[in-house]
Structure 1
Amino acid sequence: MSGRAAVLAFDIGASNGRAMKAVYENGRLSYREVHRFENSPRETGGHFCWDFDALLAQVRTGLEKAGSFDSVAFDTWGVDFGLLGRDGKLLAPPVHYRDARTKDVLGPALKKMGAAELYARTGNQIMAINTLFQLLALKREQPELLRKAKTLLFMPDLFAYSLCGKAACERSIASTSQMLDPRTGRWRSDVLEAFGLPERILLSPVPSGTVTGALPGGAKVIAAAGHDTQCAVAAMPSRVPDAAFLSCGTWSLLGTELDAPVLTEESCAFGLSNELGANGKVDYLKNIIGLWLIQESRREWRRRG
């Protein structure tokens, strides 16, 4: 690679976000943080929601601070999403995965399709926070919202869409949903049908690195690995076979890269998850509580002054 290239990356986690600008010039790569901001969910309409408008305003501030760049991309936490109506606008604030709406969804759902069978088809650890179960809660509590929805966008894709107007679904973030086949990278129509969920709202997943649109100034909008864990794994310096990784944040993820998913009953029983990485590999991992308790304690101490 020769010449100069500048890219802007937004890494938005469950507690805060940051914008990093990287410049490649004269054979050297440099990067710096241009903006950092808090992610503060709030109660809206009886649900614990992400303040998407506030986050998008912070993203726009980051764009201004960054100056000129050739491309921009986003990564975020997994599973959460926004629903767009036929007019292309957000129908409601994206609901936080820690909202109580899914607390009693798991039991009835697993009577329709057992945990081992669902795991064999989707490869995700069975958790009530997963997109599948969030949609089931939505179907039960707000069926009219699901009927009005034209498009489901996961959080990184929602940020990108809000800037360029082009909707896309990146594969790594889609693989956190409990609705994607980790072997093919396509939606499991049989799973959606079994639970009575509309496949029409789901876009066909695209590979990490796909150019999905452009900003008004011409900078490309790229669907990088939308799940922050997969971005972290892609950046690992080690290429030793069978290396393990530990990605620490609100959640911590301990795992390794594999060539194919592990979809056995034993893997399901151990609560292990298969997620699609940026490089075509499968990230086989265990979700660990991470720094959430520390982050929430810090938030409360700040509130008290």
Structure 2
Amino acid sequence: MTEAVAAVDLGATSGRVMLGFVGHNKLSVRPVARFPNLPIRTPDGLHWNILELFRHVTAGLVAAVHEEASLASAGVDSWAVDYALLRGGRMLGAPFHYRDERNLAAVEAIHSIVSARQLYAQNGLQYLPFNTLYQLEAERDSGHLRFADSMLLIPDLINFWLTGKSFAERTNASTTGLVDITTGEWNEALISRLDLPSRLFAPLVSPGSTVGTLLPSIATGLGMSGNLNIVAVGSHDTASAVVAIPATTSNFAYISCGTWGLVGVELEHPVLNEASRLANFTNEGGVDGRVRYLHNVMGLWLLSESVRYWERSGETIDLTTLLAQASAVSSTISVFDVNDPRFLAPGDMPRRIAEWLTEHDRAVPRSRPEFVRSMIQSLAAAFSDAVCRASELSGIRVDVIHIVGGGSQNELLCQLTADLSGVPVLAGPVEATAIGNVLIQARAQGFATGSLEALRSLVASTFAPKRFDPVH
């Protein structure tokens, strides 16, 4: 007998609601809704269309209940760092997108109070200019920071609208820069030092906590039962994805590859030394108290944004064909630094890549297939380097690299990563984030049991990854 749950998985470019079925040695997922997640630019900056996103979420939950009336629970995961400010339960404007340009001045303001070295000792986070603490500093001029009585990260906001319960799930909260890396609690001393209102920060809960049921108004409006449990999963999507790594050994590295490539290893304790900070590695919260020791790499954003730019002329790009053409490129291809900050914002990505290559006296691709090959080869090089550094800094010997998420379908990327790292790559499952979301719900509801290793064993026996051996 299997039980059903719904996984709401919100990515930075698209979202999905998946039905998950879990039983004794049984695990399956299937989509019931997929939808775009497109930002909106207004005169004050780049924002998430969060109300439209919530509409898609609720419609997806209705579809899930329509297909499986005995649905036991639902859980929400999303990208990290972004949030809404609220007062009296009402949102004070649409949440800013982390790619908005407003954060650069805020970084300097924060570091004038607490140095980057001091911050790393307290929060263990990789420096990224859009980490939540910098974004909150950027709020000061708007006046919203003084007026707000709470701050909720995106999955916590969705859960608040579903249940009326205000809380902060730990894996996503760990990306704010305001959680103490040693205690796992809000760092009240740092919050005070940065002159942030302590009232903003909701109580922390751990993955696997049942946080409430649907509000009567939501249940009635959707024609659903009010007894649907809402479970806090690893609400940072990478935390859920890492749960579903089909690992059969502890000596593995993972790459959760989509818009971003999150490259790292799983640890019991953080790495907080100066070498780790200078390498820009982050210690983020994982499920069951594990540490996701990783480096953020720009990811397939480079490719997707390039395709969007090429399609602005009205042309339709067939990505499968373009990737096949890129795989067939036999000429020498220039590699660039995918983590250069110029690639962060939306826009003409091919022009920026050409400018980087020209500045560094490297040949510029002459065709779209060559541009795509350069992107994929550069990503594979960045992934390989990050795996090597993660191994060196953590002391973990890496025998295999697991690539999960949408990037696991990119065979050229998987093969080049294996070739450059000299380590076999196991690709899949594609829907690792939703699968991890489902498994944490299932364990919380009592129809899955065991450690993360036991859950991963179930994934490995259900979703056989594709192997890419290094070609020397």
Query: Could you tell me which residue of structure 2 aligns to residue 158 of structure 1?
Result: 157
1:242 lines up with 2:251 in the alignment:
yes
TM-score (ref. length: structure 1): 0.94
Give the alignment's Cα RMSD to 1 decimal.
1.4
- Aligned residue-pair number: 300
Instruction: Choose 104-113 or 272-281, whichever is displaced more.
Output: 104-113
User: 1:150, CA displacement in angstroms?
Assistant: 1.2
Query: Could you tell me which residue of structure 1 aligns to residue 304 of structure 2?
Result: 295
Q: Deviations over 1:266-303 (max 9, x none)?
A: 11111000001012110100000001122222333444
Structure 1 spans left out of the alignment, 5+ residues = none
Contact kept, 8 Å, 1:6 with 1:70, in 2: the verdict is yes
Measure the CA separation in 1 of the matches of 2:258 and 2:250: 25
Contact kept, 8 Å, 1:183 with 1:260, in 2: the verdict is no
Query: Could you tell me which residue of structure 2 aligns to residue 229 of structure 1?
Result: 238
User: 1:26, CA displacement in angstroms?
Assistant: 6.7
1:261 lines up with 2:260 in the alignment:
no
User: 1:43, CA displacement in angstroms?
Assistant: 1.3
Q: 1:64 to 1:195 in 2, by over 3 A?
A: same
Query: Could you tell me which residue of structure 1 aligns to residue 46 of structure 2?
Result: 48
Query: Could you tell me which residue of structure 2 aligns to residue 109 of structure 1?
Result: 110
Contact kept, 8 Å, 1:211 with 1:221, in 2: the verdict is yes
Name the SS of the counterpart of 1:181 in structure 2: coil
Contact kept, 8 Å, 1:242 with 1:257, in 2: the verdict is no
Q: Deviations over 1:212-269 (max 9, x none)?
A: 1112311100110010111111111114223211110111011001111111121111
Name the SS of the counterpart of 2:245 in structure 1: coil
User: 1:28, CA displacement in angstroms?
Assistant: 2.7
Name the SS of the counterpart of 2:191 in structure 1: helix
Contact kept, 8 Å, 1:15 with 1:295, in 2: the verdict is no
AA aligned to 1:119 is Y
Query: Could you tell me which residue of structure 1 aligns to residue 13 of structure 2?
Result: 15
AA aligned to 1:240 is T
Which protein has the bigger strand share? 1
Structure 2 spans left out of the alignment, 5+ residues = 220-224, 315-472
Measure the CA separation in 2 of the matches of 1:58 and 1:302: 25
Query: Could you tell me which residue of structure 1 aligns to residue 146 of structure 2?
Result: 147
Query: Could you tell me which residue of structure 1 aligns to residue 197 of structure 2?
Result: 198
AA aligned to 2:269 is A
TM-score (ref. length: structure 2): 0.62
AA aligned to 2:97 is H
Measure the CA separation in 2 of the matches of 1:302 and 1:66: 33
User: 1:182, CA displacement in angstroms?
Assistant: 2.1
Q: 1:89 to 1:302 in 2, by over 3 A?
A: farther
Contact kept, 8 Å, 2:2 with 2:26, in 1: the verdict is no
Instruction: Choose 3-12 or 31-40, whichever is displaced more.
Output: 3-12
Pairs within 5 Å for 1:265-276: 265-276=274-285
User: 1:107, CA displacement in angstroms?
Assistant: 2.1
Query: Could you tell me which residue of structure 2 aligns to residue 212 of structure 1?
Result: 211
Q: Deviations over 1:136-186 (max 9, x none)?
A: 0101x21x2111211111111111111121111100000011111122110
Q: 1:219 to 1:303 in 2, by over 3 A?
A: farther
